[in-house]
Amino acid sequence: MIRLTINGEEQEFPNAIPLIEYVSSLGVNPKMIAIAYNGEVLRRDEWEEITLSEGDAVEVVRAVGGG
């Protein structure tokens, strides 16, 4: 088991997980979110290069429209 901090909450996963796989599991339009990985905002083309592992911190921010 590995522990990650996702949006400020600790979560456990059975093993390391590619970031792009985690994003797909969220069921949101990836064009509508931004991701910070260990404090660094990632460009979308970097998502496929990252594998989440023990101790990583991820912040997922979703755009919300309003009026």
The answer to whether residues 57 and 22 touch, using CB atoms and an 8 Å cutoff, is no
In this model, does residue 53 exceed pLDDT 90? Answer: yes
In this model, does residue 32 exceed pLDDT 80? Answer: yes
Q: Beta strands of the chain (E only): which ranges?
A: 2-6, 9-13, 17-18, 33-37, 40-41, 51-52, 57-62
Residue with token string 């509508």 = 32
Q: What pLDDT was estimated at residue 67?
A: 61
Q: What is the mean pLDDT of the chain?
A: 94
CA distance 15 to 2: 6
CA distance 63 to 5: 21
In this model, does residue 45 exceed pLDDT 70? Answer: yes
Q: What pTM was computed for the model?
A: 0.87
Question: Quick one: average pLDDT of 22-48?
Answer: 95
Question: Which position has the higher pLDDT, 62 or 60?
Answer: 60
